[in-house]
Structures are given as C-alpha cells and as structure tokens.
Amino acid sequence: MRNSFLYKNTHINFTETGKGSAVVLLHGFLENSAMWNEIAKVLSKRNRVICIDLLGHGQTGNLGYIHTMEDQAQMVKAVLTHLRLRKQVLVGHSMGGYVALSFTKLFPESIKGLFLMNSTALPDSEEKKTNRDRAIKAVKQNPKTFIKIAIPMLFSEKNREIFTKEIEQISQEALQITHQGIIAALEGMKIRKNQTSIYKTANFPVLMIVGKQDPALDYESLISQTKNTNVKVIEFPDGHMSQIENKDSLIKNLAIFIKDCQ
C-alpha cells in the first residue's frame, strides 16, 4: 500500500505491505523505494515491510539545499513513529546504508538488526569529496548526462552489458529526480560522519553485503573496517547493485538475517 506522510511541510512517500515484525528498506542514491518491489514481495509474506522514498528521491520532496544523513534519519524516524513502530530491522543500500547508520547512531534502542548492502561506515575520503564536488558541478551543467554515465558505473564491468534493460529503467527513474534532490544528496554524503564505532558497540546483529567487483566502494576498506567486530560479512561476486546483480543470493541471505533477528 502506497502512503504519503507530511513531515516539515514536505510530502514523504512510503509503502507498507505484510504483517509481522517490521523491516524497513532504504534505497540508495539516484534510486527510489521501487528498487525493493521484488524483495518486499518475498519478505512481506512473513514481515511488515516499509519502503521509504528518501528526501529528494522518488515521490518525496526536498527539505533544503543539503540533506545530511541525519536529516534523512530523522525523517525515517518520523515515518516509523507515525506507524507506531518501536523496533525494526533496518536495511540500507549504499546511501540508504549511510542513512541506516545515522539512524542507528541516533536511535540505537529501536534497532533489532542492521543489514548494510554495498555501503560503508567510513566517511568520504578527500578524493571522494572532490569527486562529489565534480558530480555537483556536472548535475548543474547537464543532469541527464550525469545520470547516463553514473548508473552503468554502479555495475561490475561485465554486467553493464548483461543488465542493459535494468540500467535503462534505473536511469529513466533517476531522470525524474529534481536537480536539487540529487545535489542535496551529494552534499549530504560528502559531509557524513565516521560511523565505524557502531560496529564495535552494537548489541544487535549487523551484516554487511560486499560486492567483490563493486566499482563504487573499496573492497579492502570494507573488509578492514569490520575486523575485531561482531559484524558478519557476506561477499557477492559482482558490483554495487546486489539487488539486481545477485538478486537471488541477496533475498536468501536477507530473509535468513531477518529471521535470526527475531
């Protein structure tokens, strides 16, 4: 069921399906809650599944020039409070993982489990910040070209040919995002905080999905940040878009993780 919730005079779009323990799915940059459609269909057989369009994405409006990860997390909390949810499993893809980590930092008592998919607890390096600034400039100059280049680069090299239809679909949906929504997300990701302390202090299960051929994240840094923690790591052979490139394995591992969190 598609719903709209008013938060700080901004319409927030989310879907809710199924009954049972709550699972909240947060999409990545240039994506929207529809990325979870097939996964939510499976999970909602046993769980109450909430998929939220993050600020400036999908059918959710913009709050300002910068959407920090904390801004996003506070919005997610407002939706969950509106739904009278106290505890949930939180699942985040890429930027959605950054939001999930910020949410966990702000509201640790409401987390049953944290599932990070192609995401990192580390902040942007100086090089990455420079690249974000370049991306912001590119969006201002020609957002269509930026999106057409950015989306394929999230897939492993071989999969850019295999998943041309999916890449086109994601690109078309991304073109519906306002320029300001894209820029606000880039600005927010650029200044996000180091959240690796969560991995050492979490008293709930944490699982990280890593793509061995992920063009957007450094494999070695993903592995090293989980050393001497209780974080479980599962490696997939492909890129940044595990919900497409390794869909069956993702659904299987996510379902097991949610069950283990009950």
At 62-90, the pLDDT tens digits run 999 999 999 999 999 999 999 999 999 99
- What is the mean predicted confidence (pLDDT) over 91-117? 98
Confidence of residue 195 (pLDDT cuts 50, 70, 90): very high
The count of domains in the chain is 1
How does the average pLDDT of the chain come out, rounded? 97
| Predicted local confidence at residue 3, as pLDDT | 86
216 φ/ψ angles, rounded to the nearest 5 degrees = -95, -20
Confidence of residue 262 (pLDDT cuts 50, 70, 90): confident
| Predicted local confidence at residue 73, as pLDDT | 98
Q: What is the CATH number of the domain that holds 140?
A: 3.40.50.1820
Percent of the chain with pLDDT over 70: 100
Q: Could you tell me the residue range of the domain that residue 117 belongs to?
A: 2-260
| Predicted local confidence at residue 4, as pLDDT | 82
What is the rounded distance in angstroms from the CA atom of residue 208 to the CA atom of residue 188? Answer: 22
Buried b / exposed e along 134-155 (16+ C-beta atoms within 10 A) = ebbebbeeebeebbeebbbebb
| Predicted local confidence at residue 132, as pLDDT | 98
